[in-house]
Amino acid sequence: MREKIYDRAAALEYARRWALDRNDKYYNFDKIGGDCTSFVSQCLYAGAKVMNYTPNTGWYYRSAYDRTASWSGVEYLFEFLVNNSSAGPYAHTVSEHEVEPGDIVQLGRKEKRFYHTLVITATAPAITVAAHSYDALDILLSSYRYEYARFLHIDGVRKW
């Protein structure tokens, strides 16, 4: 397995192109729970160019009916990224001061139930994000109401 660099510029280019629209290549999950994590997965894929086709625990999308839970589920994406030792992107949690554009943030409630995934578009002078479900582009993270935030730094990508 080889390591490759996560292309943050490509992830951000995708985020800026599709934050306020929908790419017909992907199902729009807005009416069945939200499209936020699928949108972030699309951004990650634009920067990684590698999916992980491991059934159940991988990270891939072929269609709305042929995908892993990690493609569109907040907690599942987190678990995939922080535990992935195989193909695809991998990450670790960091503080908000350590993130870079192209990283992701997940928002949670007081019981630490995380419900929303966003891609970071800028970090200075403040963190801005792009998202689906509540479509947003370059919106201040501080404008969201949440009790917890976990920040994921994308360390790289593994490919076969």
pLDDT tens digits, 40-51: 999 999 999 999
| Residue 113: predicted pLDDT | 93
How far is 43 from 18, CA to CA, in rounded Å? 9
Strand partners, 108: 114, 148
pLDDT tier, 160 (very low <50, low <70, confident <90, very high otherwise): confident
Task: Tell me phi and psi for residue 39, to 5 degrees.
Answer: -60, -45
Residue 85, both tokens? 């030792």
| Residue 21: predicted pLDDT | 97
pTM to 2 decimal places? 0.97
pLDDT tier, 10 (very low <50, low <70, confident <90, very high otherwise): very high
For residues 119-126, average pLDDT: 97
Question: Would you say residue 14 has pLDDT above 90?
Answer: yes
| Residue 110: predicted pLDDT | 85
For residues 137-153, average pLDDT: 97
How far is 89 from 101, CA to CA, in rounded Å? 15
For residues 16-28, average pLDDT: 97
For residues 9-17, average pLDDT: 98
Provide CB contacts within 8 A for 2, sequence distance 6+. 158, 159, 160
For residues 105-134, average pLDDT: 95
What sign does the dihedral 77-51-156-130 (CA atoms) show?
negative
